[in-house]
Amino acid sequence: MTTYLSEFCRQARIDWPENRTLNVVCHGHSVPSGYFQTPQISTFESYPHLLHMALAKKFPHAVINVIVTAIGGETAEKGAARFTRDVLPHRPDIITIDYSLNDRGDGLVRARSAWSAMIEQAHAAQIPVLLLTPTPDQAASLTDPTDPLVQHAAQVRALAIEYGVGLVDSLTTFHEQVEAGVELASLMSSGNHPNRAGHELVAAEIMKWFQ
């Protein structure tokens, strides 16, 4: 974790006029898109914007863009199909991928294939990737290993190990909050969308990679 994004951190500490613009692209479904209670979108309370603010605070001399290429309701298959067209042209320095909440409808095999395709395209372009496990669905059981959401989270963890990329374990973070006595509903704006407090948890987990 301390070295995976070391080149980004090095670039972010270069002062003007030798510095350059750094691009972080957040790819995924409704959660990074900023949906709270559909169709309400709260862009400035969602984790890509919170991440942008945290990066600006940590690297005050850096020009950093956080670009959202997420689409509400989308699965990883659709995200992979437009990866070359919609993600790579931004010349990302980092890509985050967050699809598991919706991938339950496609199943583990199809999701794995799509996630692998995106990771491999990023690798071919020498772009670091952070894989996000899902944020919760209040109808899911966070402690049941047979629950589809838990299974997709496990698959994302396995992909991070297989490909040697970064992992942001959102689901574990929410589960730890619940285990500590926090009501899950207090972190959610709807059945399957986090509120600002939930998005802050995700942004904080992402920021752990920028040490």
Query: Mean per-residue pLDDT for 2-30?
Result: 96
| pTM for this prediction | 0.97
Query: Mean per-residue pLDDT for 78-87?
Result: 98
- Percentage of the chain beyond pLDDT 70 is 99
Whether 154 and 115 have beta carbons less than 8 Å apart is answered as no
Q: What is the dihedral of CA 201, 3, 8, 155, to 10 degrees?
A: -50
Amino acid identity, residue 211? Q
Neighbours of 163 (CB within 10 A): 16
pLDDT tens string 119-149: 999 999 999 999 999 999 999 999 999 999 9
List, in order, residues 6 or more apart from 210 with CB less than 8 Å away.
Answer: 5, 8, 9, 55, 58
Neighbours of 202 (CB within 10 A): 27
Query: Mean per-residue pLDDT for 5-9?
Result: 97
Query: Mean per-residue pLDDT for 21-36?
Result: 98
Domain 6-207 falls in which CATH fold?
Answer: Rossmann fold (3.40.50)
Q: Which sequence spans correspond to the domains of the chain? A: 6-207
Determine the pLDDT at residue 97: 99
pLDDT tens string 105-120: 999 999 999 999 999 9
Tokens (6 digits) for 199: 């998005």
- For residue 103, pLDDT over 80 is answered with yes
Amino acid identity, residue 182? V
What confidence tier does 36 reach under pLDDT thresholds 50, 70, 90? very high
Alpha helices in 98-185 (DSSP H): 100-103, 108-124, 148-163, 170-179
pLDDT tens string 150-202: 999 999 999 999 999 999 999 999 999 999 999 999 999 999 999 999 999 99
Q: Tokens 């940590």 — which residue?
A: 58
- Of the CA atoms within 13 Å of residue 92, those in its CB half-sphere come to 29
List, in order, residues 6 or more apart from 44 with CB less than 8 Å away.
Answer: none
pLDDT tens string 38-54: 999 999 999 999 999 99
Query: Mean per-residue pLDDT for 22-43?
Result: 96
List, in order, residues 6 or more apart from 51 with CB less than 8 Å away.
Answer: 24, 26, 66, 203, 206, 207
Residue 87, CA distances (Å) to 108, 121, 178 in order? 23, 10, 34
Distance, CA of 51 to CA of 65 (rounded, Å): 10
Query: Mean per-residue pLDDT for 6-11?
Result: 97
